[in-house]
Chains A and B, each alone.
Chain A
């Protein structure tokens, strides 16, 4: 399910609107991941506060969404462009790749909440495909 030219354009346009709100959206998406899917908290046992209002959640949400935004720039070669990030996730963080689907779902929910008019079904399918490709690229070095 690779990205067509239409998908890439939809993704670039939509994430252009996401970029100014990267902090809010990143925090919301991560907060929901931790809250709605409590098993994801196991990766953050070293944080004091895992609630939606936690400063660590805010900071890390920003880190994650900035990573996604950087992937938009690398959309023509995700596997190559995300090689270093893949190594980080594979060898250091060792996040089970099943969790990429979880955070992707919560990104979609927050996009729908914050951009009800822009997040049309056509944009939704392109963004969903893109996030799936990003997840694949991140999982590249796992084994």
Chain B
């Protein structure tokens, strides 16, 4: 089981409570599709992803970014049981969506960059460590049902 310090719990709650899901969701997913263009392979039905401007303005990207963040919020609300919380989501990503789990890390990195831009100096090294640990646990849980 993952051990969380009080500081880590408080930091994660803080970040998610104060997050603007519309903005951060859209920006993280859009950034991922732009910085790592091969991730676009999973979004063939999203219409125009031809360039950065199109991706940034695409409403399906914005909507789906929010879906992803709501998923992470579930983990943030169940930090002592992320593995169980994500069991069904893991099966979904593996069996139905067929997402290469390496992509989780890429999206996680883009989310870290967006949160850093939002928080500025408040994103201290300690906060970054807590946030990246949380993402690592979420990603590991999401990978769990792959076989």
Contact = CB atoms under 8 A, between A and B. Distances in A.
Given A31-B125, A52-B125, A112 B56 contact: no
Given A124-B34, A125-B35, A128-B35, A109 B113 contact: yes
Interface residues of B, number: 23
Interface string B109-123: 100111011111101
Contacts, number: 54
Given A113-B123, A121-B35, A108 B113 contact: yes
Given A32-B125, A116-B120, A121-B31, A109 B56 contact: no
A13 B57 CA distance: 25
Nearest to A116: B117
B128 interface: yes
Contacts of B10: none
Interface string A114-132: 1010011110110010000
A114 B117 CA distance: 7
A36 interface: yes
Contact residues of A: prevailing secondary structure: helix
A125 B121 CA distance: 23
B126 interface: yes
Given A112-B117, A119-B117, A124-B31, A35 B109 contact: no
Nearest to B115: A112
Contacts of B129: 35-36
A60 interface: no
Contacts of A122: 34, 52
Interface of A: 31-32, 35-36, 52, 105, 108-110, 112-114, 116, 119-122, 124-125, 128
Given A113-B117, A121-B31, A124-B35, 5 more contacts: A109-B112, A113-B116, A116-B117, A122-B34, A124-B34
